[in-house]
Structure 1
């Protein structure tokens, strides 16, 4: 099954499940669903940053400072966060990501038309990473200061920028 065919829960403005749809349809129709964003750091505190492949359904070829993705039907945010982090980083045995906060991303402001509830996590990854080639075509670990310098220079996914801005405001 392709990622576009994966079934996801459709939720309302209060994050209550109101139906299901294939992921691709949810994106095309702008149906609100759930995502998990995980800020992965190495033991020195550097942030895993990557560029998405050009085959991604949403924001292809853009940079992202979070790993993560769509929460599957019947899956909890916590389950999705661990699954997505391990899949995208290419590791197993990662500690459970630490939940930080949840927010409603509304892409109508940036022209994506999408809307999703996003739970933001962080995790320290001391394991050697082997990112999924289908998801990530370039990666590195950046110091927090270097990440800040790149914010205005690289084309970032707008939802990760929104999450990162909220994360910075909490610090």
Structure 2
């Protein structure tokens, strides 16, 4: 049995606990938590996934994250993913969530922010390269680099809500 996640409905209500691979295969909604990492100057961490990973190999992203485990809140999942992927501990702040129809499966995406004040020690199995970019540089990179499609949608949502933060 693989990673256990909560299958949820279109209102993000829990229907049961299922295997994540099964949820993806059957296109069942589940929960994903991500973190927008900013440095003290406000720049955003952008990274490229390794070419050897099964999902989105070699593509870029401006968030770190993954599926929320069964029984885990969005915030707790975001904090866990931050530590697993970047080797850092920082308070995460919930920003918003929305139903993402996703390239491989639909899911509720919880977007969080964290200010990273320490050196990043990226997990090489998750992150092949990373750099800190301004919002303008991220916008430019999205025009030139192959970003995970779902992250492009999330970036648009994030910018639309920027005035509300």
Under TM normalisation by the shorter chain, which class is it? over 0.9
Equivalences for residues 24-103 of structure 1 within 5 A: 24-91=21-88, 93-94=89-90, 96-103=91-98
Structure 2 unaligned blocks of 5 or more = none
Paired with 1:54 and 1:116, the residues of 2 have a C-alpha distance of: 24
> Normalized against structure 1, the TM-score is what?
0.89
Q: Is 1:123 aligned to residue 114 of structure 2?
A: yes
Paired with 1:59 and 1:71, the residues of 2 have a C-alpha distance of: 19
Q: Is 1:18 aligned to residue 7 of structure 2?
A: no
Structure 1 unaligned blocks of 5 or more = none
State whether residues 11 and 32 of structure 1, in contact with CA within 8 Å, keep that contact through their aligned partners in structure 2.
Answer: yes
Equivalences for residues 150-169 of structure 1 within 5 A: 150-169=141-160
Task: Please tell me the root mean square deviation across aligned C-alpha atoms, in Å.
Answer: 1.4
Match of 1:137 among 108, 114, 128: 128
State whether residues 31 and 114 of structure 1, in contact with CA within 8 Å, keep that contact through their aligned partners in structure 2.
Answer: yes
Number of aligned pairs? 162
Q: Is 1:149 aligned to residue 140 of structure 2?
A: yes
